[in-house]
Structure 1
Amino acid sequence: MAETLEQSDHTSVQRRIESITSNRSNCIPAAKRRDSFLAPVTIDERSGQIGPCVSQSGKRCSDKGFLPMSLEDYVEMLDWTARQIAPGKSGRTPADTPPVLKRLGLDGTAWCELVSDFGRLFCTVAGRPECVDPLRSLRTHRRYHLRRRARELLARVD
């Protein structure tokens, strides 16, 4: 197990952090960065276009962000979550929820359970009940169902 996010080999967060630090020391063109194949994190929900945004470079699927937070907030949230899920991990575990989770209206305990049990909680589709409930399988035409515990945890999200 890696001690820090920077040491977590073969992960997208490691590549994103490397790009942040190398960009501060010397200007590397976006196309040459180690994370150039990754979609950007930040999405501007107010001015961003709706729907897919196919990459113009052809190096990745999308040029559109996927979370309403900055890359720095995303890295902070990943680090906090890892420290909560793996309490033996070195470093100080902050007692309270990071500001980004508060801004997004997420309860820290519910968030950690959603992350650590994701595969068990969401078998076929993942999302808020109001988004998943109307969906139907293209193959069987049956509605998708969320597990009761997933519904309980997502009810705690503002």
Structure 2
Amino acid sequence: MTQSRQSQVSLSDTPYYHCISRCVRRAYLCGEDKYTEKSFEHRRQWVVERMHYLASLFSIDICAYAIMSNHYHLVLHVDEASNGVLSHDEVCERWCQLYSRPVLVERWQSKQTISEAENKVALSIIDNWRARLADISWFMRCLNEFIARKANKEDECSGRFWEGRFKSQALLDEDALLTCMAYVDLNPVRAKMSDSVETSEYTSSYERIHGVAQQNEKPLEYTFTKKPLFGFIGDENEQSTRGIPFSLLDYIELVDWSGRIIREGKRGAISTHRPSILTQLGLDDDTWLSLASRFGKDYHGAVGSLEALAVYASHTGKRWIASKNQLRLH
């Protein structure tokens, strides 16, 4: 049974969410269609440009992503704190980069409203926009509608491009976040599209390593200040308290090590270069590799400890959350 988005998102429990959108039927997001021999590789750049553009407007950060042939993954962080301190004018300028500005709001901004009632309505509209700027559903809507329209125009067709709705998964603790991010970054390696994360273009790990989404980056379609990927704050010299609570170097080492083993099929072999972060997580090699390979298949809905799942269930109106969603790391 389909669940409402409200019953899946609880920002009081976690700001982190794993989102997946998949093309309907045999539609191609990217890749090469062996039946028509058409290449859709250029569409990967569409997705990357659009999601970065939206991240610069929304109070939402991108933690991880992977653009595949008929679907894509995003791990998002909702920044309620920064959204709450935006001025009314900042909210207007951000939202009106995407949608037209109502006449009443224009009059309010230019101080031409003639009554308190008009001011109240204008501020109500702006407050609604503010809520949308921290709403995952609106972020995904602005991403998917844009890509669908552009793809349909290129394909000279109409109709649905995406499956009914994007899927979202609450990541309730740091372990679930790290595991999901690694699972997302390792998508091209598992699909045998790349030999390692270092060569996995159109993933967040590739962008963190090389600074761009792919090697021969074309000029962006948009003019905007690009917001960087959500940062790691586990490094000793990192003073920020806002970010992913692990070291970037440790994370890159972990996904690189995992990718090479998955690609080469050498599970069970004793590695002399075992990432230190696995000891921090209390995991043996096989358990971690199983999580990194099967996270998306084995875990559905919210993921976290049993305690976190119970609290999340109470906040989202559920009587229970399947115990199989407990991430058993320790």
The interval holding the TM-score normalised by the smaller chain is 0.5 to 0.7
- Once the two structures are superposed, what CA deviation does each residue of 1:33-57 show, in whole Å capped at 9, x if it has no partner? 8xx431002248xx865xxxxxxxx
**Separation in 1 of the partners of 2:265 and 2:287?**
20
Displacement of 1:112: 1.2
Per the alignment, residue 12 of structure 1 pairs with 204
- Once the two structures are superposed, what CA deviation does each residue of 1:8-65 show, in whole Å capped at 9, x if it has no partner? 110111111013xxxxxxxxxxx988xx431002248xx865xxxxxxxxxxxxxx21
**Kindly tell me: are residues 66 and 112 of structure 1, through their superposed partners in 2, closer, same or farther at Cα, counting changes over 3 Å?**
same
**Separation in 2 of the partners of 1:104 and 1:141?**
29
**Separation in 1 of the partners of 2:295 and 2:195?**
22
Structure 1 regions of 5+ residues with no counterpart? 20-30, 50-63
Q: 1:3 aligns with which of 184, 192, 195?
A: 195
Q: 2:289 aligns with which of 112, 118, 129?
A: 112
Q: Which amino acid aligns with 2:245?
A: L
Displacement of 1:77: 0.2
Per the alignment, residue 26 of structure 1 pairs with none
**Separation in 2 of the partners of 1:77 and 1:101?**
8
**Kindly tell me: are residues 126 and 107 of structure 1, through their superposed partners in 2, closer, same or farther at Cα, counting changes over 3 Å?**
same
Q: Please state which structure has a larger fraction of its residues in strand.
A: 2
Q: Please state which structure has a larger fraction of its residues in helix.
A: 2
1:126 aligns with 2:317: no
**Kindly tell me: are residues 73 and 103 of structure 1, through their superposed partners in 2, closer, same or farther at Cα, counting changes over 3 Å?**
same
Displacement of 1:85: 2.4
1:95 aligns with 2:286: no
**Separation in 2 of the partners of 1:114 and 1:43?**
22
Q: 2:232 aligns with which of 30, 41, 50?
A: 41
Per the alignment, residue 66 of structure 1 pairs with 244
**Separation in 2 of the partners of 1:143 and 1:129?**
10
SS in 2 for 1:10: coil
- Note if contact 2:196-2:263 (Cα within 8 Å) is conserved in structure 1: no
- Note if contact 2:196-2:259 (Cα within 8 Å) is conserved in structure 1: no
Of structures 1 and 2, the larger Rg is shown by: 2
**Kindly tell me: are residues 141 and 128 of structure 1, through their superposed partners in 2, closer, same or farther at Cα, counting changes over 3 Å?**
closer
Displacement of 1:127: 1.2
- Note if contact 2:234-2:248 (Cα within 8 Å) is conserved in structure 1: no
- Note if contact 1:39-1:65 (Cα within 8 Å) is conserved in structure 2: yes
- TM-score, length-scaled by structure 1: 0.61
- Once the two structures are superposed, what CA deviation does each residue of 1:85-135 show, in whole Å capped at 9, x if it has no partner? 22259xxx8715321211332222111111211122211011122321332
C-alpha RMSD of matched pairs (Å): 3.2
Greater alpha carbon shift after TM alignment, 136-145 vs 110-119: 136-145
**Separation in 2 of the partners of 1:79 and 1:101?**
13
Q: Report sequence identity in percent.
A: 31
- TM-score, length-scaled by structure 2: 0.32
SS in 2 for 1:95: coil
Q: Which amino acid aligns with 1:7?
A: T
Structure 2 regions of 5+ residues with no counterpart? 1-192, 212-223
1:146 aligns with 2:285: no
